[in-house]
Structure 1
Amino acid sequence: MKANYVYLVLYSLILVVVGSNPCFAQTKSGMTFSAHAPLSAEPKSAFWQQQRKGANGDIEQNPDQWFKAASQAGIEFVRLSPTKLKGQGRDFLIGNADNFTDIPRQDLARLKAALDSAAKYNVRVVLTTFSLPGARWRQQNKGKFDYRLWTQEKYQQQAFSFWKKLAAELKNHPAIVAYNPFNEPYPARKDNLSNEDHAAFDKWLKKHTGTAADLNRFNRRMVAAIRSEDTNTPIILDGWFHSAADGIQYLTPVDDKAVLYAFHFYDPWNYTTFRINKGRFSYPDKMPDGWDGKTEAWTKADIEQRIQPVVDWAARCNVPTSRIIVEEFGCNRRVSGAKAYLEDLIAAFNAKGWHWAFYSFRASDWDGMDYELGTKPLGGKYWAKREKGVPHEQLVKRRANPLWNVFSREFAK
């Protein structure tokens, strides 16, 4: 009896260490713990057992035409956010992010019709949302981040209820191959924490573990809510710091056989963003060295260095490559060196065997990352017509070009 008691005490101590350490990292005794079982052989999980190459997109204009174009381009899957769509209430699918009660039937019918188009053209869909109850998308919230989801339990419960209801409706749809419950979570942003000060974040995380601001707790509960209705569809979870590559190291894996883990890559931001770059930086010879305008030359090793946290975390947590996805990546099509930058990113992701989805395919209202347009500006006539209300898609001419060929070659393999 005494021996059993000692064993239970030691086992409890191990659980404390495991529970407080993201991805159950190696303990001082050398013990490791993995919560990961192999993906099942069921069709939706099987989709992710080999590397998949896709794109981000929206369905604001003509879903049938859009999915047909995606299929013709060879895109295997689309990470789709319907958040921009005009809903029956203020917020599409949610009704009202201030108080979710049920999914508006009109919104659900519109989403299902779009998914039917995806299935028609054999394009698989990862469904994500940029808004949740208590976390209205900033672009629909007067430019302000909505932190209620990360501070109030009632909004977490509403978020779980929303996805539980949505999963019940979509679990048998043939186009759906994964749910991505929330894009780029930001619970630490309210307290001005970022990935620039990991020591400060370590203290913050210790203080907020077990609260509404704890993304790992949120993920566990979200997966449980979805699994109460849908036991089969894979779930993709974003990491800390708006899904930054070095934010994934703070994720604690969820004990589920069909969960994938995601990060986004737009590094460095002041190079990839045209309005910030302003012609100052070029890949690979004149890349920003910090934020003071200084430059440095990059090699492929610089890209490897920035994705190394993902590699290290996956190795430490026994997460196979089939469960890692570069959920978004890209750069403005007009920044200097965009083609070489994208080529080197894709080469790095392919070498790891990670799934990836570029941003974005034929965005309905923005040309910045519409790579089919090449590298030239659209010109004054385009913008004059846009100001008169003419849709983007009616004004652009798409053609093969060296920038788009970076992606088309990959989809042709």
Structure 2
Amino acid sequence: MVFWNSPQHGANSFNRLPPSQKYFDDLAGYGATWVRLSYDKWPTQNRDFLLGDADHYQALTGDDLKVLKATLDRAHKANLKVVITPLSLPYMRWAQNNNGVFDDRIWSDKKYWTDANRFWRDLASALRGHPAIAAFNLVNEPAPEKKGGLEEHALPDQMKHWYQKHQGGSRDLRQFYQTLIKTIRGVNPDVPLMLDAGWYAAADSFSYWPVGIEDENLLYAFHMYEPYDYTSGPNMKREKPLSYPGKLPFASESSVWTTWDGERVKKYLSGPSEWASNVGVPQNRLVLGEFGCGRLLPGCDQYLKDVLSAAESLNLHWAFYAFREDSWDKMDYELGATDKVHWKYWDAMEKGEPDPVERKSSPLFEIIREKL
């Protein structure tokens, strides 16, 4: 955990192909110290990378494990620390690998937790001692609340009431994590473990946890794409996109748009820090695991500045989304705030070939680079 004692700044890697040595070298060259690495898009001979089949997990797929270890070796050579981040678990397949359908099985019955524990036992054992590993992020953006009757960004009292009703059941994310932690500690007693908040790692979703979890090597992570109606896909498709700063819709306030600016961003991101203070979790255990906005959106530069300013004032670890993603260009800030990606990008993706587009820093990316 010594690595996490002071603020660490890095990037997310959610690429369709395992990143090259140049990829990691260039990221480190910008000043990043860590990368949050997801492998679920990588090619495999099976249904699900590393899992074999999320519907019938038996053991780690040997060939896929070799690819993952080789990728970790490249990151280590670049002096980058890695946080392994599965998007899928047994009986919880990532929606984009599941024909767009949200997989609620693991949250609907505790019997499905057993294979998730076996998977993490196997992976923690297989990667024990690898010098690149800075943490295991137990699952990306869990959402046990989604089909459990709790609205996204509900008021704190509503969240607490919901949790009292579901505590100890299959939608109890905190208890789910406790079972995984116990399993992992049986084979890897000291590795840091990163826990995403519920409702897709929303920054307000730790508020219903009555306390943290008893383990000295834990990190508590959340993501920042709020207000979602501004930062992400639906807004990019509007004929006239919403702009930032300005009055924007957000959750229960959607009927009355409210002002989002640097002050509002900081107030929202202060929620996990306030929760941590109340329950005795050290502030240096909080991680802003993802943040970003569509690079072509009006005001994206100011949004990035405001999120980074808030993260700096709160002394958060952070990782921007995303570095040179080879299957989605909308948050690839090296490409700038005005230009569409070259057609060769899409051609390579269609052929399953490496991304051929050369990158260089842009004024938009410089906002991030200056803080790395």
1:222 aligns with 2:184: no
Q: 1:178-197 to 2 correspondence within 5 Å?
A: 178-197=135-154
CA distance in 1, matches of 2:4, 2:280: 17
Moved more, 361-370 or 296-305: 296-305
CA distance in 2, matches of 1:378, 1:179: 35
Alignment partner, residue 134 of structure 2: 177
Describe the superposition over 1:300-328 as per-residue Cα deviations: whole angstroms up to 9, x where unpaired: 22112212321210110121221000001
Alignment partner, residue 89 of structure 1: 46
Moved more, 207-216 or 125-134: 207-216
> If you compute each CA radius of gyration, which structure gives the higher value, 1 or 2?
1
In structure 1, which of residues 224, 237, 258 is the aligned counterpart of residue 217 of structure 2? Answer: 258
Contact 2:248–2:259 under 8 Å retained in 1: yes
* Secondary structure of 2:141 counterpart: coil
* Secondary structure of 1:71 counterpart: helix
Describe the superposition over 1:16-72 as per-residue Cα deviations: whole angstroms up to 9, x where unpaired: xxxxxxxxxxxxxxxxxxxxxxxxxxxxx1000110001000351543232122222
Identity %: 36
Change (3 A) 1:321 1:269: same
CA distance in 1, matches of 2:103, 2:350: 32
Unaligned runs of 5+ in 2: none
Contact 2:40–2:87 under 8 Å retained in 1: yes
In structure 2, which of residues 203, 207, 222 is the aligned counterpart of residue 245 of structure 1? Answer: 203
1:79 aligns with 2:36: yes
Alignment partner, residue 112 of structure 2: 155
Contact 2:273–2:283 under 8 Å retained in 1: no
Alignment partner, residue 352 of structure 1: 314
1:114 aligns with 2:71: yes
1:376 aligns with 2:333: no
Describe the superposition over 1:341-381 as per-residue Cα deviations: whole angstroms up to 9, x where unpaired: 10111011111111000000011211010000001241684
**Alignment length (residue pairs):** 365
Contact 2:18–2:39 under 8 Å retained in 1: no
Contact 2:327–2:349 under 8 Å retained in 1: no
Contact 1:322–1:354 under 8 Å retained in 2: yes
Which structure has greater helix proportion?
A: 1
CA distance in 1, matches of 2:272, 2:193: 18
Describe the superposition over 1:158-194 as per-residue Cα deviations: whole angstroms up to 9, x where unpaired: 1011111111111200000100010111111113422
Contact 2:244–2:300 under 8 Å retained in 1: yes
- The residue identity in structure 1 corresponding to 2:289 is E
CA distance in 1, matches of 2:77, 2:224: 31
TM-score by length of 1: 0.83
- The residue identity in structure 1 corresponding to 2:148 is D
Alignment partner, residue 290 of structure 2: 328
Contact 2:221–2:289 under 8 Å retained in 1: yes
Unaligned runs of 5+ in 1: 1-44
* Secondary structure of 1:357 counterpart: strand
In structure 1, which of residues 93, 106, 124 is the aligned counterpart of residue 81 of structure 2? Answer: 124
Alignment partner, residue 7 of structure 1: none
1:285 aligns with 2:243: no
TM-score by length of 2: 0.92
Moved more, 78-87 or 171-180: 78-87
Task: Supply the RMSD in Å over aligned alpha carbons.
Answer: 2.1
Change (3 A) 1:83 1:308: same
Change (3 A) 1:62 1:79: closer
Contact 1:240–1:250 under 8 Å retained in 2: no
Change (3 A) 1:381 1:98: closer
CA distance in 1, matches of 2:6, 2:70: 28
Contact 1:55–1:357 under 8 Å retained in 2: yes
* Secondary structure of 2:124 counterpart: helix
